[in-house]
């Protein structure tokens, strides 16, 4: 049982390049989330999904797209990377998104955009 | 707007007790979480409070007062491995988690 995994762990991009971050969970969770974490700020929600085939915008969705084609996978795409997207990206999942439902986090992806 | 406040950094001595406070103003309340995050690692769940009062779990306890919009995390018998950031997060009326910036706890021998 691997829990939540993320690939890649590190990535350096040039401005304007694109990339996709992959999140996978093997806990049969319905809800999945993408956050970014920046120094001095709380985790900020980018996009989330309440089930296979669904996606919704979070607090800071601009410049990102997501897809949830399979229940266990949640992809985060950057179409044209900008230096402001330099951050640590965390994926999380939880069973059903209700009260007391704990979110489990992946190890993170450290992205630098030059 | 929604806001969660925590001290930025705290220092404590190994073997001592430390209390990390969290105050919140959110649109609705459906529970409060505390997570621990070691440097360079993912956040991991510590505790959950939805009713007023104290929840105890080993060396860690968490308290909630909904009327005051206030919680604290109490760590007893501090160990060096407790050096980490502690994140407070509140489920708002839409069941979105609103996160504080975290409190970096430094433990000194």
**Token pair for A78:** 């950057």
pLDDT at B4 over 80: yes
> Given an 8 Å threshold on Cβ–Cβ distance, is A40 in contact with B96?
no
Q: What is the pLDDT of residue A69?
A: 95
Residue A37 near residue A87 (C-beta atoms within 8 A):
yes
A113/chain B closest Cα distance in angstroms: 19
Tell me if B47 sits within 8 A of B34, measured CB to CB.
yes
Please tell me what DSSP assigns to residue A101: -
Q: Enumerate the residues of chain B whose CB falls inside 8 A of the CB of residue A104.
A: 45
pLDDT tops 90 at residue B95? no
For residue A1, pLDDT beyond 80: no
Q: How far apart, in whole angstroms, are the C-alpha atoms of residue B103 and residue B69?
A: 18
Query: Is the pLDDT confidence value at A54 over 90?
Result: yes
Q: Determine the Cα–Cα distance for residues A106 and A74; give it in Å rounded to an integer.
A: 12
Cβ-proximal residues to A103 (8 Å cutoff; 6+ apart), any chain: A33, A92, A93, A94, B45, B97
Interchain pair A42, B100: CB under 8 A: yes
Q: What is the pLDDT of residue B13?
A: 97
Residue with tokens 């800071």: A60
What pLDDT sits at residue A47? 97
- Average pLDDT of the residues of chain B: 95
Residue A105 to residue B43, Cβ atoms within 8 A: yes
CA distance linking residue B21 with residue B6, whole number of Å: 6
- Among A43, A96, A101, most B C-beta atoms within 10 A, so best to mutate, is A43
Residue B24, burial from CB neighbour count under 10 angstroms (0-12, 13-18, 19+): buried
- Flag whether pLDDT at A62 surpasses 90: yes
């Amino acid at each position: 049982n691997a829990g939540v995994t993320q690939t890649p762990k590190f990535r350096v991009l040039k401005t304007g390049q694109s990339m996709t971050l992959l999140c996978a969970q093997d806990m049969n969770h319905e809800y999945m989330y993408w956050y970014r974490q920046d120094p001095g700020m709380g985790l900020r929600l980018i996009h989330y999904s309440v089930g296979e085939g669904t996606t919704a915008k979070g607090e800071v969705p601009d410049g990102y797209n997501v897809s949830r084609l399979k229940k266990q996978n949640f992809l985060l795409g950057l179409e044209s990377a900008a230096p402001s997207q330099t951050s640590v990206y965390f994926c999380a999942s939880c069973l059903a998104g209700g009260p007391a439902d704990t979110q489990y986090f992946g190890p993170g992806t450290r992205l630098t955009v030059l | 707007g929604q806001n969660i406040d925590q001290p930025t950094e705290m220092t404590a001595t190994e073997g001592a007790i430390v209390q990390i406070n969290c105050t919140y103003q959110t649109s609705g309340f459906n529970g409060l979480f505390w997570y621990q995050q070691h440097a360079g690692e993912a956040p991991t769940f510590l505790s959950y409070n939805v009713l007023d009062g104290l929840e105890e779990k080993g060396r860690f306890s968490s308290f909630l007062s909904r009327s005051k919009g206030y919680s604290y995390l109490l760590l007893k018998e501090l160990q060096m491995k407790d050096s980490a950031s502690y994140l407070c997060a509140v489920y708002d009326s839409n069941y979105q988690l609103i996160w504080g910036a975290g409190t970096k706890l430094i433990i000194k021998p």
